[in-house]
Copies of this chain bind each other. A is one copy, B any other.
């Protein structure tokens, strides 16, 4: 491989989001609500994964979902069909949600009767990783067609996530995707990340993932 020149170009933005996120997390702790922040690229299967997750857990947990999108409400309509309480959040073009925006969403959703609140963040591997939403845990989905090199290119997203779901394993035969290599890359970014290969479409692997999530929510309530 040839060497290529690397030019560092940079710009930075700051805010006092971290304090608001901690305050939100404390208030969720008091209420016994587990907030999950679900992130991924566009089209990696967040909504389908969420549909299967709700189906598996709805008898044991009261679930509320916030669907964040720049435009449209197609995902929220799909989620509402599962019977889970759902609101659509439009970000007005914003590429991510911060803690204050998440708080607005939770207020709109209403969480007095919710055990597990899920934020489906804007489809984006960059910006959402930079902002603590106040969630108890971050989980991301990487889908097989996106390729196993993504942890190399989007380091922060993999660093901030407690678990990585590798979705669309039903199409593994049609893509050059190296499952062992992707696990190695993910653990290079984040040695503690739990990894769950799944197919939200066929249901394969969904049991391990939903058991993990259920256990995290129970532990949070008892802490």
Residues of A within 8 A of B (CB): 1-12, 41-44, 67, 69-77, 80-81, 86-95, 97, 101, 104-105, 108, 122-127, 130, 143, 145-147, 149-150, 152-156, 168, 171, 174-175
CB within 8 Å for A1 and B153 given contacts A9-B105, A10-B92, A89-B7 = no
Partner of A145, one of B75, B91, B126, B143: B143
Q: Which residues of B contact A11 (CB under 8 A)?
A: 92, 94, 101
Please give the distance in Å from A50's CB to the nearest CB on chain B.
Answer: 14
B72 close to A153 (CB less than 8 A)? yes
A127 close to B95 (CB less than 8 A)? yes
B4 close to A86 (CB less than 8 A)? yes
A77 close to B9 (CB less than 8 A)? no
A10 close to B171 (CB less than 8 A)? no
Partner of A80, one of B4, B69, B104, B153: B4
Please give the distance in Å from A58's CB to the nearest CB on chain B.
Answer: 16
A72 close to B105 (CB less than 8 A)? no
A125 close to B127 (CB less than 8 A)? no
